[in-house]
Structure 1
Amino acid sequence: MPKKFSSSWCIFDFPKREAELAALQSQSESPDLWNNPEQAQAVMKSLSDIRDDVEGWKKLNNRISDTLELCEMGDESMRPELESELSDIEHELARRELSVFLSGRYDRGNALLAINSGAGGTDSQDWASMLQRMYLRWCERRGYQTEILDFSEGEEAGIKSCTIAVNGLYAYGYLRPEKGVHRLVRLSPFDSAHRRHTSFAQVEVLPEAAAEDPEVQINPDDLKIDIYKSSGAGGQNVQKNATAVRITHIPSGLVVSCQNERSQMQNRENAMRVLRSRLLELKREAQDKQLAELRGEYTKTEWGSQIRSYVLHPYQMVKDHRTEYEAGNTQGVLDGDLDGFIEAFLRWNGKSD
């Protein structure tokens, strides 16, 4: 096996994954497994995930072996077909190598993506709407399903904020590199003098916490729930009935609201989805902070520390300040071509862990 292929096999740690698969298979066959339905579901999901990984790598290994055997035959008439197969194998290998960096507990699951405009008035609200479009386009490219849970329009243009549920395999793992402040530099279309403006927007990425997730326990007595009329741009967009829901989690002080649906019950369910995910993220951040402080690595992240800049004037470039990855096709990026930035971050972060 070529060095490139064998090194990828080592990265996957096949013996370890097979041992995990055998242990989970044994657990799944226990007669007492379903005495605890929540634990049983977690075991069966892990079993399915690891089995898919192991079988996928086995199939890839077989493809590599078969292709190498054909190459050794030296039949020149098969050269175009073999070159095409090798290209496909390298593409699949790169994809599987990247998935190795998505080994976190929630990486394979769904995500909630929240975008909030920063200081800067209409320009920042327009920038937030551009980011919303960019991520929706990226999700469409990857075949992910999206649902807008909450949406607040800007006064003149754009949006103040929005929350999007993204459903699909590895949705959270691929989106988590996008968490942070995004900066736009351009000639403002809202400035009569057409001067250059800098706008900011905050992107949050949360793992979607299942209702039965043991890490998130919500006591109904800890919730304050307010019902009010939805706000909108006027006309048919304004609800005459009180359907919007605001939920305050008293112990943490977290406040979430949803007004996008016409049903109060749907808005309440969506608000609870967001609250569970925010509480989970709060818990995970506290754990990460404690661990980082023990290691002497903790630094506070401020609003001004942008992760990426999108420059449309005086030149065209998008640059990630963590990985130094750059792209000159700004329109392509704003149309959802984010895979290069995401892959660069996952590989950079994987090396630094």
Structure 2
Amino acid sequence: MDTELKDRCQNLIERVLQLRGSLDCDSKNRRIAEINDAMGGAGFWDNQEKAQKQVNELKTLNAALKPINELFSGSQDLGVLVEFAEAEDSPETIAEINETVERLEQQYQEVELQAMLSAPEDASSAYVAVQSGEGGTDAQDFAEMLMRMYQRWAEQRGFAAEILEVSPAEEAGIHSATLVIRGPYVFGLLKGETGNHRLIRMSPFDSAHRRQTSFAAVDVTPELDDSISIEIEWDDPKVIREDICRASGAGGQKVNKTDSAIRLTHLPTNAVVQCQNERSQHQNRALARKMMVAKLYQMEMDKREAETAARRGQKSRIGFGGETIRSYVLHPESYCKDNRSDYKTSHPQATLDGDLDPWIEAYLRWCLGVTQGK
């Protein structure tokens, strides 16, 4: 076994150990044991809401630990293979070591990416709001394309996606929509999608088939649990304006035909949320309030981040309604580019079909470089 391969193996094993320590796996394992003990006790399900929260926490912890545990186990196996190779330098063992190193390096990159999601809200599910911008019917169609993109991404990831409200446009597409995507670390993965998106293509809605530039805005906020709360005077008309309206939709048997859709406006910040998914006005109001708390929490986090970045002389992450974060160019060239990380691909349609993972990784690594002042 040559020295270069041995050093590479040793370096990888050491990096895995350091990464495992940084993820605080021991405390997570202790918490898993606590929840499992509680689930095995009498009366665990007496309080359904509390029990469900602990079950969801257990799922999140297990999902977080599974990749690092598999990586750690693989690094230990690699150490054994290295010992075998030193004792008997056979071509078969060397080939197996090379194959194992390549596989573990890829796993390490994936787990390292997860380690970047360290904020408390990163582990949460997320609300994704899409709103059409400049560009008329093309922008409305683009907004629907983005909504579909996030639904497809969730499907590919095995997450559950549910539309909470949608406002269809007159000719094609949508004016706006909000969906909730539930799963471990959804917010941490999608938080970089917040901002303006731009589409350049030959317009299918123009009789002359001219090139059209259109915009849509995306806002991603975490679905918070009760451990994070914001004080809001819900009954104060100077703070919250509540509008009750009929749920909109394209028609059909399942369309909510009652005046139960709830739109809340937080007057001090002009933040707006709407929910029409439930048939009960009370259920829609409860969910809309939860969405409002999440939006105000994220606005406060963005404000703090901007202040911190300004003190460091850095550029903060681009917020909702700010600069264009990504361009989808279908004509005359064919490419998709992130304006922050400079990540670029020549397959924009794959991105629009839900292949967001490369963009997520590029954004998180860009954030890490900004944090470290690179």
AA aligned to 2:235 is D
Give matches, 1:244-259, under 5 Å. Answer: 244-259=261-276
Correspondence 1:161 to 2:176? yes
Distance in 2, matches of 1:109 and 1:302, equals: 19
Distance in 2, matches of 1:304 and 1:249, equals: 20
AA aligned to 1:136 is Q
Give matches, 1:2-17, under 5 Å. Answer: 2-10=10-18, 12=19, 14=21, 17=24
Distance in 2, matches of 1:123 and 1:195, equals: 12
| Shift in CA distance, 292/352, structure 1 to aligned 2, threshold 3 Å | closer
| Shift in CA distance, 321/152, structure 1 to aligned 2, threshold 3 Å | same
TM-score scaled to structure 1, two decimals? 0.83
Correspondence 1:60 to 2:60? no
Cross-structure match for 1:272? 289
- The offset of 1:344, in angstroms, is 1.0
| Shift in CA distance, 94/296, structure 1 to aligned 2, threshold 3 Å | closer
TM-score scaled to structure 2, two decimals? 0.79
Cross-structure match for 1:172? 187
Distance in 1, matches of 2:296 and 2:22, equals: 36
Tell me the matched-pair count: 343
| Shift in CA distance, 315/5, structure 1 to aligned 2, threshold 3 Å | farther
Q: 1:199 aligns with which of 204, 214, 217?
A: 214
Contact kept in structure 2, 1:317 and 1:330, CA below 8 Å: yes
Gaps of 5+ in 2: 1-8, 38-48
Distance in 1, matches of 2:347 and 2:79, equals: 38
Cross-structure match for 1:148? 163
Contact kept in structure 2, 1:8 and 1:97, CA below 8 Å: no
Cross-structure match for 2:41? none
Cross-structure match for 2:234? 220
Distance in 1, matches of 2:252 and 2:30, equals: 60
Cross-structure match for 2:203? 188
Residues 99-157 of structure 1 deviation map (CA, whole Å, 9 limit, x = unaligned): 11111111111111111100111000000011111111111111111111111101100
Which moves more between the two structures, 334-343 or 259-268? Answer: 259-268
Contact kept in structure 1, 2:162 and 2:179, CA below 8 Å: yes
Cross-structure match for 1:70? 81
Contact kept in structure 2, 1:311 and 1:318, CA below 8 Å: yes
Q: Secondary structure at the residue paired with 2:178? A: strand
Q: Secondary structure at the residue paired with 1:221? A: coil
AA aligned to 2:234 is P
| Shift in CA distance, 55/267, structure 1 to aligned 2, threshold 3 Å | closer
Distance in 1, matches of 2:112 and 2:252, equals: 51
Correspondence 1:327 to 2:345? yes
Which moves more between the two structures, 304-313 or 316-325? Answer: 304-313
Cross-structure match for 2:361? 343
Q: Secondary structure at the residue paired with 2:248? A: coil
Cross-structure match for 1:34? none
Contact kept in structure 2, 1:149 and 1:258, CA below 8 Å: yes
| Shift in CA distance, 18/153, structure 1 to aligned 2, threshold 3 Å | closer
Distance in 2, matches of 1:227 and 1:55, equals: 45
Distance in 1, matches of 2:23 and 2:348, equals: 42
Cross-structure match for 2:330? 312
Q: Secondary structure at the residue paired with 1:242? A: coil
Q: 1:133 aligns with which of 148, 171, 190?
A: 148
Gaps of 5+ in 1: 30-37
Tell me the C-alpha RMSD between the 2 structures. 3.5
